[in-house]
Amino acid sequence: MASRKIRSLSGRAYRARRIAATFGRVYLGIKANQLLDRVGDRTGNQARWRRFHQTSAESIFAAAIELRGLILKGCQFMGARSDLLPPEYVEVLSRLQDRVPPRPFSEIRAVVEHELQMPLEKAFADFSREPLASASLAQVHEAHLPDGRRVAVKVQYPEIRELVASDLSNLGALFRAIRLFERDFDLVPLIDEFREQLPRELDFYKEAMNSERIAEFFQHREDLCVPNIHWEFTTSRVLVSDFVDGIKISDIRELEAAEIEPKKVMQSLLEAYCEQILVHGFFHADPHPGNLLVLRPSPGCEIPRIVFLDFGLSKQLPDSFRQSTVEFAAALLQGKAEEMGKALVRIGFETRGNSQQSLHAISVILLDVAKRLREQTYLDPEVVREAGADLPRLIRENPIIRVPSHLVLVGRVMGLLSGLGHTLDVKLDMLRTILPYASGVSPRPGIERART
């Protein structure tokens, strides 16, 4: 026991050093390149930045593959942000969404047999040795039940709980250190949210219940679906559901080959999140491309169907969230920055000294961003750069001391959807889609308002 504890402490120390060294080098590299920008010419600077981004992305990718756990999960999120990150990061880190090197089959067999308390051959008629997908917390294998039904078996990695706990501690320390040098770059609330959410994500029973709850939301829609759960073979570390064969939602070539319009897909996806967040107050919070499939059209059905996978990261919003959002949306429509600031306070934002000056100024920036969003589902890098230059200054002048934790995940979802819209190159009137849901007028029939 003592030697195992020593190895565990040694392993945690190594992970801490690896994380700090990887992200520390990237941070220092950014600062160094910013200084070099002052003396170099534009063409040379751009080439230098591209080389730096490529090298940094490969370095982060290598650390994520080696360490896995929470680091890998965070890098998957980064790889979906094609609207914000340089293309070098997106190209490299997007490989983490469903192409993570798998664990040995012997480890997977051991977990399944321990959880189901029976030999693998008794539980399943057949079980593929090679996984369909490998991710941050688990990997998925194709199998057939004894009665012949085709299923997907999600198996949690044996040591993942310890790795996640270690990573939360390491990243918390790293982000607190960064905050000392960069007052306008506070990621500690993100760690706090992960610390609350990840234990739920590691319980596959809860994930299965989340899956069925959201499936009920979509019962009235033909364009959205969720695989059925097989409860008799599901435990806290093994989840068995119907097998679904579809196209990865970000695979433009496959969508076009199947004659599926990306615009229709993006419209359905955006409406799905409006329903979840603004109608029901409970939502699938991990819509990276590896968790979303599009079914190939069947004879007589031209509607593209989106399949939602992996419900471990789901979120229940406070009852007051929708009403406060309605107030914010109404003020946004009317262009009233002061009322928007008041609505942000009711949503849960806090500023130093309870001053609304910073929130009012931020609302002005959001109004400008909203105008540009009217004809696209994603934020152009130019818009992000402009907002990114103004927001830190405003926060520094009158710091926001609290961002509601649930908005961290809402923001994450909006960021992932923005990145996907950019990848698919789809232009929609995003606000026109969102505002009816926010104001309580459902554009789709059959939706029952979950809250008032």
Give the contacts of 164 (CB within 8 A, at least 6 positions apart). 69, 70, 137, 198, 202
Residues 6+ apart with CB under 8 A from 419: 80, 81, 82, 83, 84, 90, 378
Degrees, nearest 5: CA angle 268-376-373 = 115
3-state secondary structure of 389: helix
| 167 phi and psi angles, rounded to 5 deg | -65, -40
SS3 13: helix
What's the rounded Cα separation, in Å, for the pair 129 and 119?
15
Q: Which residues on adjacent β-strands are paired with residue 364?
A: none
Supply the DSSP string of 396-417, one letter for each residue: HHS-EEE--HHHHHHHHHHHHH
What is the CB-side half-sphere exposure of residue 350 using CA atoms within 13 A?
6
Closest CA to 187 of 74, 59, 353, 356: 74
In sequence order, the β-bridge partners of residue 351 are 400
Q: Are 82 and 377 in contact (CB under 8 A)?
A: no
| Per-residue tokens: 117 | 């308390």
Report residue 62 as tokens.
Answer: 């290598």
Burial grade of 257 (CB within 10 A; 0-12, 13-18, 19 or more): exposed
Count of helix runs (H) and strand runs (E) in the chain:
17, 13
Is 98 an active-site residue?
A: no
Collect all residues with Cβ–Cβ distance below 8 Å to 430 and sequence separation of at least 6.
Answer: 270, 373, 374, 376, 377
Among the listed residues 251, 286, 310, 390, the single catalytic one is: 286
In 297-449, beta strands by DSSP E: 305-308, 314-316, 350-351, 400-402
User: For the range 21-25, what are the long-range contacts, defined as Cβ-Cβ under 8 Å and sequence gap of 24 or more?
Assistant: 22/59, 22/60, 22/63, 23/60, 23/174, 25/56, 25/59
* Catalytic positions, written as ranges: 286
